[in-house]
Amino acid sequence: MPREVRDVVFVDGVRTPFGKAGGMYANTRADDLVIRCIRELMRRNPQLPPERVEEVAIAATTQIGDQGLTIGRTAALLAGLPKTVPGFAIDRMCAGAMTAVTTVASGIAMGAYDVAIAGGVEHMGRHPMGEGVDPNPRIIAEKLVDPSALVMGATAENLHDRVPHITKERTDAFALASQQKTAKAYANGKLQGDLVPVAIRDEANGWGLASVDEAPRDTSMEKLATLKTPFRPHGKVTAGNAAGLNDGATAALVVAEDTARELGLPIGMRLVSYGFVGVEPEVMGVGPIPSTEKALRIAGLSIDDIGLFELNEAFAVQVLAFLDHFGIADDDPRVNPWGGAIAIGHPLASSGVRLMTQLARQFAEHPEVRYGLTAMCIGIGMGGTVIWENPHWKGGDK
């Protein structure tokens, strides 16, 4: 019997403040971070009966310890959702939370359920990337990939080789702009609404409250120029023009549009299309280019139809390669208007929902914009893009 595909909406998203790896969350469990996000989503949306949540998908790149044991199910239980609510864990490295959203959205679209929670968590202080991993030696021995493909910073240097016109000075300038935009966004109260305060404990100072991101810093082109290039002698990738190692969690409510209207839930944005692709693992940073082309093709749109971009800043060179490919200026105001991961942080599997949450907030401020996208590069050679429609659109060019 034929089914009609239902419209899916992003209702609300929250995140913990992002900490430096092993920083303010050194004594906080990873699962407690995502539990805090789930509880906050339910608190903010009291019109949603807990028993109406029908799935919880939580991503983690390193599914071990306090990020293991099918974290979507255990986090749902610990967050106080009914025991009838199922859950699962998901892994697509940096695009874990993005994939959690698209996966539950697909289930909603085909009618498997109406309401889901999707998000991600990464405690890189406790679980460094690659912990417990045992890559099959044939992947290197049989030359399926170059050894550099397993080191994300090395892949960024490889990308620099492919796009020599993107200089280190240009990546540093982009990184500095990210820091400045994030500082301005904080000063203007743009980011605080996304954040869930988290109780933290420090052995020296006792209990405290994490209420802002730990990673943003005051810097300059002069300071950025002095930083070491750890992935290659005389290279271009530094700690200043790349995202750091971070701890944090995110969660979002993803709902069928008719159910959202039935329950009186706010509609932040409407899902249009998404695309995931594989690329050469040695230059994984190019991934968002073909994934965006795929998502645009599915949606019947062009890049000129996109009025806002939330691009994950894993490495500045990766974002700049994307912008150059699509003919977008480095300082285009549509791109990461509140800064990005270089300033805010990138706790791997959680970042996709951060991008979505910020885009939804920006949609509310820009009714002249109809479409926006979230995109990110993904380790082992992939890219992911999700295109969204602004429910507040009042007509205009984009």
For the question of residue 37 being annotated catalytic, the response is no
Out of 123, 127, 346, 366, the active site residue is 346
pLDDT on residue 269? 98
Q: Is the pLDDT assigned to residue 1 strictly greater than 80? A: no
Dist. CA 231–CA 140, nearest whole Å: 19
Name 161's Cβ contacts closer than 8 Å, sequence gap at least 6.
none
- Return the structure tokens found at 148: 């550099």
DSSP-derived letter for residue 300 is T
Locate the domains of the chain by residue range.
Answer: 8-126+244-389
Average the pLDDT over 191-215 and give the result. Answer: 93
Q: What is the pLDDT of residues 69-102, one digit of tens each?
A: 999 999 999 999 999 999 999 999 999 999 999 9
Describe the chain by its helix, strand, coil percentages, rounded to 5. 40, 20, 40
For the question of residue 346 being annotated catalytic, the response is yes
* AA identity, residue 379: G
- The reported pTM is 0.96
Strands 371-378 and 382-389: antiparallel
Q: Got the DSSP string for 155-219?
A: HHHHHHHH-TTS-HHHHHHHHHHHHHHHHHHHHTTSSGGGB--EEEEETTTEEEEE-S-S-----
Q: Which residue, 84, 92, 93, 72, is CA-closest to 30?
A: 72
Q: Which residue, 89, 93, 73, 71, is CA-closest to 81?
A: 73
Instruction: Determine which helix (DSSP H) or strand (DSSP E) holds 54, and give its type and residue range.
Output: none
pLDDT on residue 130? 86
Instruction: Determine which helix (DSSP H) or strand (DSSP E) holds 322, and give its type and residue range.
Output: helix 316-325
pLDDT on residue 2? 72
377 dihedral zone (left: phi>0; alpha: psi -120 to 50; beta): beta
Q: What is the pLDDT of residues 13-67, one digit of tens each?
A: 999 999 999 999 999 999 999 999 999 999 999 999 999 999 999 999 999 999 9
Average the pLDDT over 284-310 and give the result. Answer: 98
Q: Angle, to 10 degrees, between the axis of helix 71-78 and the axis of helix 30-44? A: 60
Out of 37, 94, 123, 366, the active site residue is 94
Q: Which CATH number fits domain 8-126+244-389: 1.10.3720.10, 3.40.47.10, 3.40.50.300, 3.40.50.720?
A: 3.40.47.10
Out of 127, 160, 366, 377, the active site residue is 377
Q: What is the pLDDT of residues 145-185, one digit of tens each?
A: 999 998 999 999 999 999 999 999 999 999 999 999 999 99
